[in-house]
Each structure stands twice: as C-alpha cells, then as structure tokens.
Amino acid sequence: MSELTYLEAIRDGIREVMKEDERVFLIGEDIGLYGGSFGLTNGLFAEFGAERVRDTPISEAAIIGASAGAAVTGMRPILEIMFSDFTACGMDQLLNQAAKIRYMFGGKAKVPMVLRTASGGGAGFGPHHSQSWEAIFAHIPGLKVVMPSCPYDAKGLLISAVRDNNPVIFLEHKVLYKNKKYAQEVPEGIYTIPLGKAEVKRQGKDLSIVASSYMVQKSLEAAEELSKQGIDCEVVDLRTIRPLDIDTVMASVEKTGKLLCVEEACSFGSFMGEVITQVIEKGFDYLDAPPIRIAGKNCPVPYSYILEQEMIPNVDRIKDGILKVLGKN
C-alpha cells in the first residue's frame, strides 16, 4: 500500500494486467521510451519491451482499427489516444467497427480492448485538447465508458476494463493525473472495481449530487464547504457511465428527493441529460424539486485561464446549484 497519484495508479494497474496476461499489450503514440505525453507509461517500455509497448505513427484511425483487429483475433490491447479529442481522427474505427463487430457478427466475436485517453479541460490546452466527449461515446451501443474520479478507483476500474470482453473507453482526467492533492493509498497487486457500479462517495440526506471523474472531486469540495452551513449533500460517483448504475442513483434520489448533476462537458446534449431523463422516468414522484445540471458552458474550451475556468464548472457554481435545488437562492 502506498500513496499514489491518479496517473501512477493507472500505470500500476496497467503493469499488473500486463504481468497477469501476456495477451495484453500497449499501443499508442510516444508511449515507449518517452512514456507518453503525460508520462503515464513511463518505465513500462523498459519493463516489457518494444513488442508489448508499441510506439505508433500519428495514425489514430489505424491505432484504433488495429486494436480492434488484434482484439477480435485473441489479444487484449490497451491503446492510448493522447487526448480524447483525437479520437475524432479514428471515429469510424471506433464507433462503426470496434463497437459493432460483435453485434454485426451475430454475437460470434468479442472485442476486448481498452481505449485510454486524456479527457477534460482545466489545463490550458485549448479547444483541441480539452473536450469532454463522454456523451458521444456513451451513446453508441457496444461501447462501455469509464470515468474514474480518484487513484483507487482508477486502478481497479482499469483492471476490470482490461479483463472485460468489450471495447471500453477509459476517460482519464488530465487535471487529476499528477495532482498530489488527490493522491491516495492504493493497494499493490490486482484488485478490481466492477464496471457499471456507482459509488456513494459521500453520504448525505438533503440532496443527491451525481457526477463522474474530476467533477466528483469538485462536488465533494462543494459538499464539504456547504456542510459548514448545515447542508448535507450525498455525492454519487457514477464511475462508469455506460453501463449506467441508475439503481444507485435512484436509491440516493429516493432518499434525498433532490438531484443535482455535475459534469464538465458542454451542457447542450450532455450525458447528464440522460441521467436526469432516466431519473424523471423512474422517479418523478420522488423528486420534490426540479433537478438541475451544472455543466460546461456551450462553447469550445477556450485557452485563456480566466475564460477556461469560467467555462468549466467550479466549486462556487456547484454550490450555487446546490442552493438552487434546495430553493435557498
């Protein structure tokens, strides 16, 4: 057990699955000697060699396609797309091929691959390196989508994702990667967190906050701050958004009667629209106030720090949202 950052925990998970299963290999741009754009794969090249840690040309479509092809013929690739925005360059291979192979083949094939990628803004990378595209991936049947919020979860979910027999989009938040503030005790060796299980990260009775990835951390902060004013928020970390653990969400909403969804993606057409819609369908009567979404503004993620911070939900906006759902402002 040692204190690891999010990035270190993911690396640790990768190392574990590579040791346990020789079908697992890594493929991506500059992931070898260089260790990846964020240094996440540092050391893996030295440990596992060039056959299993494969640097590629800048060819996102071929990387994704080759992973799908390797997966369907018996391997278990973990591919890195440097920034999630770049999946756009390989979208056909992802949405039309990898996601659909099993269904199109009448269930006679499986495509066990994990697409790891750095998602989200808040690091000043501008419009092409900061988007949150979970709504796009989660809309496609055949894909699973994982969004870990902390090191412990990240490692356990990564291991589950690699053992899963489906294409899994593993969205890592680049702001969490090296942030010591969120470092955690992470067990050594293998442990798993099931895909499709949300976790209540904070118990509370006044209101349910549903979030994933970095927004869980910000929501916890907001909850903590408001607890000083006697407001007791529950924070549900979805962890996996597809499959979506709507039961855990409903149980929380049933208890609190109030729902705030927090996400970083542009609000229009966002994933939390799905969560709210399902909650409404299933639990209209539980709710004693309209649910609210705190989300990214409806523009590309701008470069300038001051604009970017305004675009992405922060603790203050979340607190405002909480108060609004509670009818306190």
Partner 1 sequence: MKECTVRECTIIKEKLTDLKEYKVADRFKDLKKEQKVEMLKRMFQIRYFEMEVEQFILKGQIYGTCHLYIGEEANAVGAMNAIRKNDWIVSHHRGHGHCIAKEADLKLMMAELIGKGNGYCKGKGGSMHIADMDTYNLGANGIVGGGMGVAVGASLTNKLKKNDGVVIGFIGDASTNNGIFHESLNLASVWDLPLIFYCENNQYGMSTPIIKSTRIKRISDRKASYNVKGVTIDGNNIVDVFNTVSHFAEVCRKGEGPVLIEALTYRQRGHSKHDSQVYRTKDEVEQWKEYDPIVRYREFLIESGIISEDEAKKIEEKAIEDIKAAAAFAEASPYPDLSELETDVYAD
Ligand X SMILES: Cc1ncc(C[n+]2csc(CCOP(=O)(O)OP(=O)(O)O)c2C)c(N)n1
Could you list the residues that contact ligand X (CB under 6 A)? Answer: 29, 58, 60, 82, 86, 89
Active site residue 128: no
Distances (CA, A) of 61 to 54, 103, 191, 201, 248: 15, 21, 32, 37, 36
- Please choose which of its own copies, partner 1, ligand X, none residue 4 contacts, taking the beta carbon within 5 to 8 angstroms, the exact cut-off set by kind: none
Rank residues 40 and 81 by Cβ distance to its own copies and give the closer one. 81
φ, ψ for residue 233, nearest 5 deg = -95, 145
**In whole angstroms, how close is the CB of 229 to partner 1 at the nearest point?**
26
- Please choose which of ligand X, partner 1, its own copies, none residue 95 contacts, taking the beta carbon within 5 to 8 angstroms, the exact cut-off set by kind: its own copies
**In whole angstroms, how close is the CB of 158 to its own copies at the nearest point?**
23
Provide the residue type at 119 as one letter: S
CA–CA distance, 217 with 315 (Å, rounded to integer): 9
DSSP codes, 275-328:
HHHHHHHHHTTT-SS--EEEEE-SS---SSHHHHHHHS--HHHHHHHHHHHTT-
**In whole angstroms, how close is the CB of 205 to partner 1 at the nearest point?**
35
**In whole angstroms, how close is the CB of 15 to ligand X at the nearest point?**
24
**In whole angstroms, how close is the CB of 183 to its own copies at the nearest point?**
32
Rank residues 53 and 198 by Cβ distance to ligand X and give the closer one. 53
Rank residues 5 and 117 by Cβ distance to ligand X and give the closer one. 117
Residue 62 has which token pair?
């071929």
Sign of CA dihedral 165, 75, 41, 302: negative
- Please choose which of its own copies, partner 1, ligand X, none residue 166 contacts, taking the beta carbon within 5 to 8 angstroms, the exact cut-off set by kind: partner 1
Q: Which residues bind its own copies (CB under 8 A)?
A: 85-86, 88-89, 91-92, 94-96, 99-100, 103-104, 126-128, 135-136, 138-142, 242, 244, 265-266, 268-274, 276-277, 280-281, 284-285, 289-293, 298-300, 302
Sign of CA dihedral 84, 316, 150, 39: positive
Q: DSSP state, 92? A: I
- Please choose which of partner 1, ligand X, its own copies, none residue 136 contacts, taking the beta carbon within 5 to 8 angstroms, the exact cut-off set by kind: its own copies
- Please choose which of ligand X, partner 1, its own copies, none residue 68 contacts, taking the beta carbon within 5 to 8 angstroms, the exact cut-off set by kind: partner 1
Looking at the DSSP assignment, which residues form a beta bridge with residue 119? 173
Cis amide bond preceding 243, omega within 30: yes
Answer for the pair 274, 244: CB distance below 8 angstroms, yes or no: yes
Residues annotated as part of the active site = 129
